[in-house]
Amino acid sequence: MPISESDASDAYRYFLISEYEQAASIYEASLAKDTTNLTNYWYLGLTYLLQGHEDAAQLTWLSAMDGGDDQAVGGQKAELAEVLETEAQRLETLENLQASWLIRQYLQEVTPEKVENLLRFVELGVEINADITHTLADHHLVELLQDHIPGTLDSDLLQRVLLKLSTVSVIEPLVLEILRAALPHIQKSETLTHELLETAIKLRFEAQQYTLAADLAEFCTTLDPDNLTALRHLSGFCTDALRYAQGIEVAQEFCDLCTTPEVKLLGGHLLLRALLTAGHHGSQVWAAKKYQETWLAALVAKNPTDLARGHAISLPFVTSFYAYLQDQPQVHRTWQNQVAQIAQQNLRNCAGQSGDLVQSVSVSKNNTSHSKSSKPLRIGYIAHTLRKHSVGWLSRWLFQHHDHDVCHVSLYLVSQGIDEFTNRWFVNVADACWHSRGRDAITERILTDQIDILVDLDSYTLDATAEVMALKPAPVQVTWLGADASGLPAIDYFIADPYVLPEDAQDYYQEKIWRLPQTYIAVNGFEVGVPTLRRDHLNIPADAVIYFSGQTGLKRHPDMVRLQLKILKEVPNSYFLVKSLVGDQTIIQQSFIQLAEEEGINPGRLRFLEGVADESAHRANLGIADVILDTYPYNGATTTLEALWVGVPLVTRVGQQFAARNSYAFLTNVGVTEGIAWTDEEYIDWGVRLGKDETLRQQVSWKLKASRQTSPLWNAQQFTREMEKAYQQMWQIYLESKAD
């Protein structure tokens, strides 16, 4: 006897209230009496599925289709699909996303060509935090999108799915294929472009996935070709991903689209960055610098106060590459101070802030320690480089040795992932840690924490950090270590020492230069592993003299390379090992070979080394060198310290700018004067002397190794006490200024 309409209604009523066991009993009883009502099969299978009996559900549906011809089965599948779609939609309205997602999974099995269901299935999967990695590949979403006729898809649904896929914590490479396949089906969308760029930025800075970041930014420029923000990031990400030619091409495209001084200025910066990082130092570079200086003058003359935030935030770092080209701090610092002042004014205008933020907050949030003399001082450090980065390697010892009875240490990590290194050296030894990428969130947190002294370790190397510093959320603000000073008026002090800046430097620094008594940085040493380089592997005789230079393409100034090659020419049986940590290796090698030939040197005396992933092995490999040749006008910093730690003599050319005096400052602090050159001629002379005089090299090496026991450069605990004393003095000066 067929099931009555009353029984069917009862079964479905139980189904609607999720009483699946009761509903299943009625459907089972019905099918025991009448096997022709396919609807009962469909709903019985659903009751099994929603009870977690997936195998029973599939068997029930298949049994209803068993034995029919292709046409009949096709009709049955369509009928089942309609039931599944209806129930999936109903459960979504009830916000039972897990159940709807499960139904759509089986709906896709029934109708694998139905791309809209697959899109909704993926969207739900992201919302419920399901693992969709295999789903994307197994259900062939890329192929379905490629085969679908443009204009026939639900574009709103597709865009929602793309947004969901682009904002998951770790984007999969397959997502990029999906984006490209979806391009014919979507229209230009500011929202989608913005979200994709946000994900690309996160990939670059927090996950260090440079290639994925570049690919994602490239898709944004395809979606919106005239989007300057997308082009800007694409140029930078391509350079980071070692796609140098593309980075240069996109930077030039950006320049061609610029229309205002502030944007043209940024375009010049992008072009300089792309060219110099690749290793170019020819006419293109100087043309880009001249282009940029033209718009620097125009911007300063205009002195705008109505810049958009995105334009203002770029200004503090637009002159940052000048130091790689020329040692002219009086000129370049003046430019830097001027653009930084314009940036700060406009960033504050964008934030609706008329003055220093810490002075304009309510009394309840004001820094109550203005009137207190008790310890500890609340010290905040803001950075995006507290990882395996030069800043991370060098600053870690300060954090290890901080006296927490003197300083309560808070970390503000900007756009930075937290790995084992960051946890060990920074997070685990700090009193508090805050991680974010948003200016507002970090600024508000610094205010809430009532930080007394905020120490910036990024300077002009990250726009978000510069923006926070420009708003001045702490009464006293300091720049240390990351790079030269940013020039922002909101920065009170720039940490230096008696050597790293000349005596007259205060004449062209906006910040007050605070000179520590001996050194502006100290480390307790470096981890040194097992070397991976041997002379015989490099086909270099055992009695040969080996010169070494390990720097980025940015620092490969051709004038300095010529001096290095002149040294090589004067020292018989000598070889030059060139290790370019970053840069287009073909360009760099061709440049060295061409300059060697011009100097009459056999290029066979040059050896070009590849990088090693293990920093400790890199330091161990420095021991193969007899003499290290420093770069100019931008010296080594971390690389110099590593060389001195392993005891290899170094020749450096001293200049006037901060970047041209690091090695001089370090050598002075270890008590070594041999190798310090004040002119090009002295640089060549020291290089030749150290190359020819083995006894002199041994004496210098002995001094370097002995300095480990005596030099302030290798005494991070003493250095930390000096930094803490400086903080206390800065705070006292601030209190006295408030008392006046």
pLDDT 10s digits, 224-266: 998 999 999 999 999 999 999 999 999 999 999 999 999 999 9
Residues 211, 238: Cα–Cα separation, whole Å: 7
Give a yes or no: residue 336 inside a domain: yes
- Confidence (pLDDT) at 458: 95
DSSP state letter for 506: G
210 CA to centre of own chain: 8
Q: Measured at the alpha carbon of residue 677, what is the angle toward residues 672 and 681, in degrees to the nearest 5? A: 145
> Residue 68 — pLDDT band, cuts 50, 70, 90?
low
pLDDT tens-digit map of 268-286: 999 999 999 999 999 999 9
Q: Flag whether pLDDT at 169 surpasses 60.
A: no
CB 713 within 8 A of CB 669: yes
> Residue 83 — pLDDT band, cuts 50, 70, 90?
very high
- Confidence (pLDDT) at 74: 85
Residues 477, 483: Cα–Cα separation, whole Å: 15
Better pLDDT: 411 or 4: 411
> Residue 70 — pLDDT band, cuts 50, 70, 90?
confident
Mean pLDDT of 407-429: 94
Query: What tokens appear for 37 in the block?
Result: 């009502």
CB 448 within 8 A of CB 365: yes
User: 427 with 316, same domain?
Assistant: no
User: 510 with 375, same domain?
Assistant: yes
User: 658 with 696, same domain?
Assistant: yes
Give a yes or no: residue 209 inside a domain: no
Query: What tokens appear for 128 in the block?
Result: 């419920």
303-306: list long-range contacts, CB under 8 Å, 24+ apart.
303/342, 304/262, 304/342, 304/346, 305/345, 305/346, 305/349, 306/346, 306/349
- Confidence (pLDDT) at 374: 64
CATH number, position 433: 3.40.50.11380
Residues 125, 102: Cα–Cα separation, whole Å: 9
- Confidence (pLDDT) at 640: 97
Mean pLDDT of 524-551: 96
Better pLDDT: 580 or 286: 286
Q: Flag whether pLDDT at 294 surpasses 80.
A: yes
Burial class (CB in 10 A: 0-12, 13-18, 19+), 740: exposed
> Residue 5 — pLDDT band, cuts 50, 70, 90?
low
Taking the CA atoms of residue 60, residue 64, residue 69 and residue 75 in that order, the dihedral angle to the nearest 10 degrees is -100
User: 541 with 505, same domain?
Assistant: no
Q: Flag whether pLDDT at 107 surpasses 90.
A: yes
Mean pLDDT of 63-91: 87
- Confidence (pLDDT) at 366: 43
Q: How many CA atoms lie within 13 A of 384 on its CB side?
A: 26
Q: Flag whether pLDDT at 66 surpasses 80.
A: no
> Residue 525 — pLDDT band, cuts 50, 70, 90?
very high
Mean pLDDT of 2-26: 82
Domain count, the chain: 4
Q: Flag whether pLDDT at 369 surpasses 70.
A: no
> Residue 355 — pLDDT band, cuts 50, 70, 90?
confident
Q: How much of the chain is helix, strand and coil, in % rounded to 5?
A: 60, 10, 30
Give a yes or no: residue 177 inside a domain: no
Give a yes or no: residue 669 inside a domain: yes
Better pLDDT: 582 or 1: 582
Domain that holds residue 451: 357-515
User: 496 with 560, same domain?
Assistant: no
- Confidence (pLDDT) at 370: 47
User: 542 with 667, same domain?
Assistant: yes
Helices (H), 94-189: 97-110, 115-127, 133-138, 141-147, 155-166, 173-182
User: 631 with 686, same domain?
Assistant: yes
Mean pLDDT of 132-149: 83
CB 114 within 8 A of CB 81: yes
Residues 145, 343: Cα–Cα separation, whole Å: 45
CB 382 within 8 A of CB 455: yes
- Confidence (pLDDT) at 249: 97
User: 571 with 710, same domain?
Assistant: yes
Residues 6+ apart with CB under 8 A from 17: none
Give a yes or no: residue 728 inside a domain: no
Query: Which helix (H) or strand (E) segment is 397 a member of?
Result: helix 390-401
CATH number, position 7: 1.25.40
Please give the backbone phi and psi of residue 548, each rounded to the nearest 5 degrees, phi first.
Answer: -140, 140
Select from 80, 96, 111 the last residue of a domain: 111
DSSP state letter for 403: -
User: 405 with 430, same domain?
Assistant: yes
User: 366 with 273, same domain?
Assistant: no
Residues 6+ apart with CB under 8 A from 388: 419, 421, 615
CB 657 within 8 A of CB 537: no
CA distances from 407 to 69, 380, 410, 634 (A): 81, 9, 9, 34
User: 453 with 583, same domain?
Assistant: no
Residues 6+ apart with CB under 8 A from 353: 360, 471
Helices (H), 167-260: 173-182, 190-205, 210-223, 228-240, 244-257
Q: What percent of the chain has pLDDT over 70?
A: 96
Select from 334, 350, 366 the last residue of a domain: 350
Least confident range of 1-5, 322-326, 343-347, 645-649? 1-5
Residues 41, 408: Cα–Cα separation, whole Å: 68
Give a yes or no: residue 176 inside a domain: no
Mean pLDDT of 437-456: 92
- Confidence (pLDDT) at 131: 79
> Residue 739 — pLDDT band, cuts 50, 70, 90?
confident
> Residue 3 — pLDDT band, cuts 50, 70, 90?
very low
Give a yes or no: residue 469 inside a domain: yes
Least confident range of 172-186, 208-222, 526-540? 172-186
Residues 654, 656: Cα–Cα separation, whole Å: 7
CATH number, position 653: 3.40.50.2000
Give a yes or no: residue 188 inside a domain: no
Mean pLDDT (the chain) is: 92
Q: Flag whether pLDDT at 363 surpasses 60.
A: no
User: 452 with 414, same domain?
Assistant: yes
- Tally of CB atoms within 10 A around 726: 19
Strand 574-580 with 606-609, pairing: parallel
